[in-house]
Structure 1
Amino acid sequence: MADLPPLNGLRAFEVSGRRLSFRAAADELGVTQGAVAQHVRQLEAYLGLMLFDRLPKGLALTSVGRSYHSRVSSAFQELRAATDQIKPEPGKVLISVTPTFASKWLIPNLPEFAERHPEIDLRILATEKLSSFHSDGIDLAIRQGAPPFGAALKASRLFRQDVIAVVAPSLLGQVKGLAMADQLARLPKIHDTHDLWPRILGALDVEDLSTRKLRLSQTALAVDAAISGQGIALVNRFLASREIAAGKLAELGPLPPVEGHDFYVLTQRRSGPNPAIDTVLTWLKSKSD
């Protein structure tokens, strides 16, 4: 901390640089104009540089002051953002989910939640990375796996793993009349990061005869590719239920079960209730299978 400039001076400089007026900066900070001017002078003395040209009708940043102000403003903005992320707000709930879960299940179901609970500000952090309840400030997380997830976390299962093969009806028409094993063998496969095709085909004793393979980083992209007729994708049933109901995808099956990677909602063990988090958790459980 000894290497940092005086923080009151930085704050006065940041506001004064935006407003280009000690009087306006004083109004924003709720202090006197003299106090703002003094803090800026102390900062200039610490740096050994002039940050402002004092003009008859206000201030003008010097060239070095302009460069310094840009970086100081960015630092203050980062501090504000970090504080906003972890500062408790009644009714705010931050949920961490994978991009596939967000796009294929959570976002389509959000209108129902918003209608039932308009008082809750549900925010979504969509990432493939494991989120930290502490450093990321999240309240809930939905992840695929198997417990235990850690002594500090409570886990409730939302959806069982129920993998199905989905394909566009137009593409399925090309192999109409063939047995399912022949359909699976001939149609092109769409792979995602889970790479379940070798396991599924091996369990069915089916040889992959297709020459085209598409590899994508997310299951959501694989589903979208299947809708556009680029091949068969493997996906959990609940993530493709809307597309199947709408006739955009058809199911090929049945497939052998893939067990051990159900979908769980994770919460921190806490001493007391949190009404907003508990409301979101109750709603999620009401939608589970």
Structure 2
Amino acid sequence: MSRPPLHSLLGFAAAARSGNLTRAAETMHLTVSALSHQIRAIEERLGERLFVRGARGVELTDAGQALFDRIAPHLDAIEQALQPRRRRGEALTITLMPSFASSWLVPRLPRFLAAHPQLELSLQSNINVVDFARETGLDAGIRYGPGHWPGLDAVHLFDDWVAPIASPALIEKLGRPTLATLDRFPLLGAPGGRWSEWFARYGGTPPARFVAIFDDSENLHRAAVEGLGVVLGRMTLARPLIEAGHLVALFDERLKAEYAHYLVLPPRSREHAGLAAFRDWLLEEAGRYEAGKAAARERASRRPPRKHAPTPHRRS
């Protein structure tokens, strides 16, 4: 039996780490079709499926996980061996959620890169749980979560908030709700959870039926942009869409999100000079971001109450 091509195994590992064939193909400079062909070739060789399609991309089967566990350390070792020799701290690899990268980090990143031109920064989008002991090429991650990950250091960056948001087109069509009449509008979400908390705190009656349910924040916000309904959106993800005019925050009231944003790192990265610089910059940017939000809330509190347009009849 011939040996499997190394590039096929690299493509398989990229798909396993990202959980998304499109992003994996981009990192490998391949088309999705070419990457899928490579993966199928490995599956045919092993006689087992390596991936199944899930709601958010692709997920490893048991056979796929077993293969990844066996080859990942060797692929990492090969990658490190082939890299040009550099002093520790001149290269930094960060894993982060795609939504956080596009909505918060990337717009601010030029300031960091300008201040640290000697640092080679690699950002890897990944929605999966990361095992730093296995993926030794990763130095740290940025995650939205409870703030405690066993065996890892977690540096709090900033909290998040949720509030009702909708598209301008939906507001033009149905009018702008008040706190008391929000339940008459098409809402995106699910009975219970934060929507129940919202209505309990700010008034109104939760509807018996929601228009649609999404298990992914990015798709939820995209549905709101398309005018499907009102979403209880995360403001960190929604702010760029609001500033671009694609969404509108309906009220000044907010609920604190259950989780917050953290820089997460394994103990081996504590002395990484490049990571220390990145951490200090992140904390500075987070502080500036929080101050901006506080100033916006202060300005909002001084504005006169809005006049609300007529609202639609209650849905049956």
Distance 1:112-1:216 versus aligned 2 partners, 3 A rule: farther
Measure the CA separation in 2 of the matches of 1:79 and 1:257. Answer: 43
Q: 1:143 to 1:195 in 2, by over 3 A?
A: farther
SS at match of 1:277: helix
- Whichever of the two has the greater Rg, that structure is 1
Residue of structure 2 aligned with 1:249, choices 247, 250, 255: 247
Q: Distance in 2 between matches of 1:179 and 1:206?
A: 9
User: In structure 1, what is the Cα distance between the partners aligned to 2:100 and 2:270?
Assistant: 29
With over 3 angstroms needed to count, the CA separation of the structure-2 counterparts of 1:270 and 1:178, relative to structure 1, is: closer
Deviation at 1:168, TM superposition (A): 0.8
Alignment match, 1:221? 219
- Distance in 2 (alpha carbons) for counterparts of 1:85 and 1:253: 50
C-alpha distance in 1 between matches for 2:120 and 2:112: 10
| 1:177, distance to aligned residue in structure 2 (A) | 5.4
In structure 1, distance between residues paired with 2:129 and 2:103: 19
TM-score where L is the length of structure 1: 0.62
Report if aligned partners of 2:147, 2:156 keep a CA contact under 8 Å in 1. no
Matched residue type, 1:145: G
**Aligned equivalent of 1:231:** 229
Match of 2:77 in 1: 83
Q: 1:116: Cα distance to partner?
A: 3.5
Pairwise mapping of residues 136-215 of structure 1 onto structure 2 (< 5 A)? 136-137=135-136, 138-150=138-150, 152-176=151-175, 178-182=177-181, 184-191=182-189, 196-209=194-207, 213-215=211-213
Superposition RMSD on alpha carbons, in Å? 4.0
- Residues in 1 aligned to 2:176 and 2:255: alpha-carbon distance in whole angstroms: 25
Query: Secondary structure of the equivalent of 2:239?
Result: helix
Work out whether residues 162 and 257 of structure 2, in 8 Å CA contact, stay in contact via their aligned partners in 1. Answer: no
* Aligned mates of 1:274, 1:240 — CA distance in 2: 33
> Gaps (5+ residues) in structure 1?
1-9, 16-66
Q: 1:157 to 1:189 in 2, by over 3 A?
A: same
The alignment covers a number of residue pairs equal to 224
Using a 3 Å threshold, how does the CA distance of structure 1 residues 166 and 84 change in structure 2: closer, same or farther?
Answer: farther
Matching residue of 1:132: 131
1:160 is aligned with what amino acid? D
The offset of 1:112, in angstroms, is: 3.8
Three-state SS of the structure 1 residue aligned to 2:255 is coil
Deviation at 1:125, TM superposition (A): 3.0
Partner SS for 1:216: coil
The superposition leaves residues 231-289 of structure 1 with CA deviations (integer Å, 9 ceiling, x where unpaired) of 12223322222221222211022345335422111122348632221122122112113
* Distance (whole Å) between structure 1 residues aligned to residue 211 and residue 148 of structure 2: 35
CA, structure 1 residues 86+191, in 2 after alignment: closer, same or farther (shift >3 Å)?
farther
Q: State the 1:129 CA deviation.
A: 2.2
Structure 2: state its 5+ residue gaps: 7-40, 46-67, 291-316
2:256 aligns to what SS in structure 1?
Answer: coil
Percent identity of equivalent pairs: 23
Maintained 8 Å contact 1:188/1:211: no
Work out whether residues 190 and 232 of structure 1, in 8 Å CA contact, stay in contact via their aligned partners in 2: yes
Alpha carbons of structure 1 residues 200 and 153: separation in structure 2 relative to 1, 3 Å: same
TM-score, with structure 2 as normaliser: 0.58
Which residue of 2 is the match for residue 104 of structure 1?
103
- How many angstroms does 1:171 deviate by? 0.9
1:276 aligns with 2:274: yes
Match of 2:58 in 1: none
Q: 1:153 to 1:235 in 2, by over 3 A?
A: same
Contact kept, 8 Å, 2:72 with 2:134, in 1: the verdict is no
Q: Read off the aligned partner of 1:176 and give its amino acid letter.
A: G
CA contact (8 A) 2:224 2:230 kept: yes
Q: Quick one: distance in 2 between partners of 1:271 and 1:94?
A: 11
Partner deviation per Cα, 1:55-99 (whole Å, 9 max, x = no partner): xxxxxxxxxxxx9xx97xxx9x97763325666865332222223
C-alpha distance in structure 2 between counterparts of 1:111 and 1:195, whole Å = 38
**Residues 205, 153 of structure 1: alpha-carbon distance in 2 compared, 3 angstrom cutoff:** same
